[in-house]
Amino acid sequence: MRRFTADDACLLLARLRERTPLVQCLTNAVVTNFTANALLAVGAAPAMTDIPIEADQFARIASAMLVNLGTPHAEQRAAMLEAARAAHEIGTPWVLDPVAVGVLSVRTQLAADLLAYAPTAIRGNASEVIALNGSGHGGRGVDSVDTAEQALDAAGRLADRYGCIVAISGATDLITDGTDVIRLSNGHPYLTQVTGGGCALGAITAAFLAVGDDRLVATAAATAVYTIAAERAAVGAGGPGSFAVAFLDALASVDGAAIRASIAMS
């Protein structure tokens, strides 16, 4: 098994803050502001460029890209396909977040079309990952009805088929390249009670992929930093509202000492 350590996460976080990668986000209307703020807090630069023609142009200058299928209206669907094609052509790392795939027909077909452009990483909940592999029908809207461990076989098949990393969110997050599996058990339930709590992780993952040479390690590092920040934010939060604000502060302040003290791997 390939090793992932706290030092990997510390190194990549420091590199991200030094380089300030430019992350293009074609994401859903509900989470745009939270996602942009999360990127800024961790040290990246967001660009919410998601209209046709410009999406292609920007994908060619961005450091990395997120495609999130949360609210895929017609114009955005066209932009997503052209941006993914451009990223694939020039080797820009990009993340696919297949929100509610398997449950709804338009986004399910869109996800299938996007897979042709070889995402660097796929990040979703267990039911989305299973559905994307064609072995299930999705969850309950954006909520998973499966566990991360139940989705591991589907994740491995996706990783092998498309040469990508697959990250499955859950109480224990699983990150795999089809051979190795990294398990991380940080985080807090408040993340599931804040709009964008899951979606923003796709953008953070893209930022880490922009500065990491090993895609599996970079994806794991993004998950570790994000979920450790959530734990730190929850300590003084009175509920999901105050947590959302504290979480942005925690993303901005999380450092190597916090990572080494808190990372939970199994």
Please report whether residue 1 resides in a domain: no
Residue 35 main-chain phi, psi, to 5 deg: -65, -45
Please report whether residue 179 resides in a domain: yes
Please report whether residue 109 resides in a domain: yes
Please report whether residue 141 resides in a domain: yes
In this prediction, residue 3 carries a pLDDT of 80
**Residue-number span of the structural domain to which 185 is assigned:** 6-262
Binding-site residues, in ranges, read 48, 123, 169, 196
Model confidence, pTM: 0.96
In this prediction, residue 266 carries a pLDDT of 82
Strand partners, 22: 45
Please report whether residue 101 resides in a domain: yes
Please report whether residue 139 resides in a domain: yes
- The secondary structure of residue 189, as a DSSP letter, is G
CB within 8 Å of 54: residues ≥ 6 apart: 79
Give the C-alpha separation, 80 to 46, whole Å: 16
Q: At 177, which CATH number? A: 3.40.1190.20
**Res 70 pLDDT > 90:** yes
Please report whether residue 121 resides in a domain: yes
Please report whether residue 113 resides in a domain: yes
In degrees, to the nearest 5, what angle opens at C-alpha 37 toward C-alphas 217 and 103? 70
Residue 164 three-state SS: coil
Binding-site residues for substrate, in ranges, read 48, 196
Number of domains forming the structure of the chain: 1
Question: Residue range 59-63: average pLDDT?
Answer: 98
Question: Residue range 86-110: average pLDDT?
Answer: 95
Binding-site residues for ATP, in ranges, read 123, 169
CB within 8 Å of 171: residues ≥ 6 apart: 148, 185, 187
Q: What is the pLDDT of residues 167-211, one digit of tens each?
A: 999 999 999 999 999 999 999 999 999 999 999 999 999 999 999
Q: What is the pLDDT of residues 116-163, one digit of tens each?
A: 999 999 999 999 999 999 875 654 455 556 889 999 999 999 999 999
In this prediction, residue 231 carries a pLDDT of 97
